[in-house]
């Protein structure tokens, strides 16, 4: 058994914001710039908020455009040196437009709006800059972009600073889009103030393609706390690999799509070093590790190089090769908490397993604790829903 402190590379930013006083920028009759008066009294009049020239705009302030005496025909909101386009939505009556998401801090935006009314056209523009937050919130997301994972893999959003209020947590959840090739119901759960995880109600369908976008840039997650960068990931769900390990029978039964593909003789934790019972996932794989009892608070008990290691818990439970215990495998439990397998079985299992594959252990006296690794399946669906700040499930949108 090996314990290791785990972490995740993060990236997203938060800060205290000074809300700018912002008026409107208007243009009319024939293409005036921001703040210009209309040339014809009966021409369509366009108004933009924030007004052109405004500095230190709060990132959570929406950008709005309205048309008086006419309709909007187009609105573009661009930012940065590459003039990237931000999303927005035109009202059904064509008289107003509003940005879809919060704004990036420390960024210059330009709005260009066009409208028409009584046969006349008008153009208005506004250029403004958002404030620079003094505090920054970094974030990381798992699975990695482009990764193929098992059917039990959760989505993890990890934050470098705590989001301690319910309002902040609700804002974070509402800012995350989940899209799937085969939409299923899921929900978010706050593992801590710095981690929120998503899982489907049941295991992911094999072959599912998933895209997650966290619109954190400019998100107000607390008093003076703003995100600075969006975070996204796209991943694919691999085959339905489920392994059931029976500590009393000393066997591991491995299935692929419901079909048993291998039965392995194993040895689990001996008395006093019991293995965990519960549903876990394969968290990571390492071909070579030195198992050192000092990492579990018992220096000098053992220090052994091991091969074909598949991690199941943060606290140090692995499935790994154990040539020294092959006589006990299938007969007795003699390990320090890991799942010992023969070199050939361990190598096969290592090659077969994807991160996120499901592993369920039964027959021990030690229950898996929620949070000892990504452990979304240690809770019932009802209990999982209770960990959401919104208290409601998420119905994913179709993946385009």
Helix (H, G, I), strand (E, B) or coil at 248: coil
For residues 276 and 367, the answer to whether their CB atoms sit within 8 Å is yes
Nearest to 143 by CA among 209, 194, 187: 209
Rounded Cα distance between 115 and 28, Å, is 9
Nearest to 229 by CA among 240, 218, 237, 238: 218
Place of tokens 């798992």: 142
- Which two three-digit tokens encode residue 245? 């390990």
- Which two three-digit tokens encode residue 174? 């509402």
Place of tokens 């009314």: 117
Decide if 215 is catalytic.
Answer: no
* Residues counted in the chain: 400
3-state helix, strand, coil in the chain (%, to 5): 10, 40, 50
Q: What are phi and psi of 168, to 5 degrees?
A: -65, -40
For residues 179 and 211, the answer to whether their CB atoms sit within 8 Å is yes
Q: Residue 231: how many CB atoms within 10 A of its CB?
A: 22
Decide if 24 is catalytic.
Answer: no
Rounded Cα distance between 73 and 44, Å, is 11
Rounded Cα distance between 251 and 199, Å, is 29
Rounded Cα distance between 225 and 213, Å, is 20
Q: Helices H, strands E: what count in the chain? A: 3, 31
Q: Is 59 left (phi over 0), alpha (psi -120 to 50) or beta?
A: alpha
* Catalytic entry in 241, 250, 273, 320: 320
Task: Give me the half-sphere count of Cα atoms (radius 13 Å) on the Cβ side of residue 237.
Answer: 24
Nearest to 266 by CA among 223, 328, 219: 328
Q: Residue 394: how many CB atoms within 10 A of its CB?
A: 19
* Catalytic entry in 24, 241, 336, 338: 338
Q: Which residues are part of the catalytic machinery? A: 320, 338
């Amino acid at each position: 058994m090996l314990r290791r402190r785990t972490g995740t590379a993060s990236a997203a930013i938060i800060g205290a914001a000074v809300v700018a006083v912002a008026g409107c920028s208007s243009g009319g009759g024939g293409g005036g710039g921001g703040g210009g008066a209309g040339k014809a009294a009966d021409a369509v009049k366009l108004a933009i908020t924030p007004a052109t020239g405004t500095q230190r705009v709060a990132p959570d302030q929406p950008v709005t455009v309205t048309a008086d005496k006419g309709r909007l025909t187009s609105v573009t909101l661009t930012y940065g040196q590459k003039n990237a386009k931000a999303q927005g939505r035109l009202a059904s009556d064509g008289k107003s437009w509003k940005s879809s998401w919060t704004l990036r801090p420390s960024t210059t935006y330009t709005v260009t709006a066009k409208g028409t009314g009584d046969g006349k056209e008008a153009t208005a523009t506004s250029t403004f800059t958002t404030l620079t937050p003094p505090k920054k919130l970094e974030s990381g997301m798992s699975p990695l972009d482009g990764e193929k994972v098992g059917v039990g893999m959760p989505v993890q959003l990890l934050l470098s600073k705590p989001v301690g209020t319910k309002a902040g947590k609700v804002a974070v959840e509402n800012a995350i889009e989940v899209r799937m090739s085969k939409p299923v119901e899921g929900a978010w759960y706050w593992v801590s103030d710095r981690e929120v995880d998503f899982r489907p109600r049941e295991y992911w369908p094999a072959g599912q393609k998933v895209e997650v976008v966290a619109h954190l840039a400019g998100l107000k997650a607390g008093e003076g706390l703003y995100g600075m960068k969006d975070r996204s990931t796209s991943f694919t769900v691999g085959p339905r690999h489920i392994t059931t390990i029976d500590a009393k029978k000393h066997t591991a039964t491995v299935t692929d799509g419901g079909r048993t593909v291998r039965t392995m003789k194993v040895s689990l934790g001996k008395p006093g070093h019991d293995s965990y019972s519960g549903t876990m996932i394969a968290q990571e794989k390492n071909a070579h590790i030195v198992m050192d009892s000092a990492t579990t608070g018992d220096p000098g008990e053992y220090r052994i190089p091991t091969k074909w290691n598949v991690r199941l818990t943060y606290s140090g439970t692995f499935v790994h090769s154990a040539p020294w215990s092959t006589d006990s495998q299938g007969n007795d439990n003699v390990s320090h908490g890991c799942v010992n397998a023969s070199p050939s079985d361990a190598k096969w299992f290592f090659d077969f397993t994807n991160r996120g594959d499901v592993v369920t252990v039964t027959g021990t006296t030690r229950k898996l604790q929620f949070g000892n690794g990504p452990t979304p399946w240690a809770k019932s669906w009802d209990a999982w829903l209770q960990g959401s700040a919104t208290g409601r499930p998420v119905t994913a949108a179709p993946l385009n």
